[in-house]
Amino acid sequence: VKCFALQVAIIIGAGLVTGFGFTLTSKLPPKPTIVDRSKDGPPAHPPSPTGPTGVTGPTGATGTTGAIPDKPVAKAPAPSDVDKISLTAAKTLFDQHNAVFIDARAKKEYLESHIPGAMQLEKSDLDSQPPAKVLNYLPGMEIVVYCHGELCTDSEAVIRRLMALNKGIGPMHIIADGFPGWQKAGYPAESGPESGFQ
């Protein structure tokens, strides 16, 4: 019994020690700090488009500034900030055409239905060389990422990988209620393949 217990302890110990050794040399990108602003009002928006000059969104919008809502507004996030926003705030950003919406769900789900003009981008797309559309359209842009809602972690995973690219993408938002909430609120949706991002 002693010998058996010793063997078990050695196997577990070896796993822990080796694992600990790897954590010391780990190069995993840091986990983003996400501020929950989903209970606040719509985010304050900068008076001019945050995107680079000439960037045209997938819907053809050229970054026109929308009217700042009358409701009390939350503090404008810094470009390095990541926050969870409410559906109302997401809809405001959608109407202003200043942000790129990113669908972090599986492609099959995207094809069935998505927010109009959203870019389909799964976390696995960013595990190796990022797709050209990411480098062409996202640097300097405000982005809104969504997946299945509160319990879904794919939006966070996509944001973590985008931050690791260090391309000045941001501010970044996550729709707290995700696409199910968006649909439930009766906001616009479309189906079919992605268009406008090359």
Binding site for other proteins (CB under 8 A): 4, 7-8, 10-12, 14-16, 18-23, 26, 28-29, 31, 123-124, 127, 148, 151-153, 156-157, 160-161
> How far does CA 169 lie from the centroid of its chain?
10
What minimum distance in Å lies between the beta carbon of 12 and other proteins? 6
CB of residue 23 to other proteins, shortest distance in Å: 5
**One-letter amino acid for residue 76 of the chain:** A
Which of residues 19 and 60 has its CB atom nearest to other proteins in the complex? 19
* Alpha carbon 37 to chain centroid, angstroms: 15
Using alpha carbons, list the distances in angstroms from residue 145 to 5, 21, 27, 125. 49, 35, 24, 15
Q: Judged by CB, which is closer to other proteins: 18, or 136?
A: 18
Backbone dihedral region for residue 149 (phi beyond 0: left; psi -120 to 50: alpha; all else: beta): left
Query: Least distance from C-beta 136 to other proteins, angstroms?
Result: 24
Smallest gap from Cβ 160 to other proteins, in A, equals 8
Closest to other proteins by CB, 11 or 132: 11
With respect to other proteins, which residue has the nearer C-beta, 83 or 156? 156
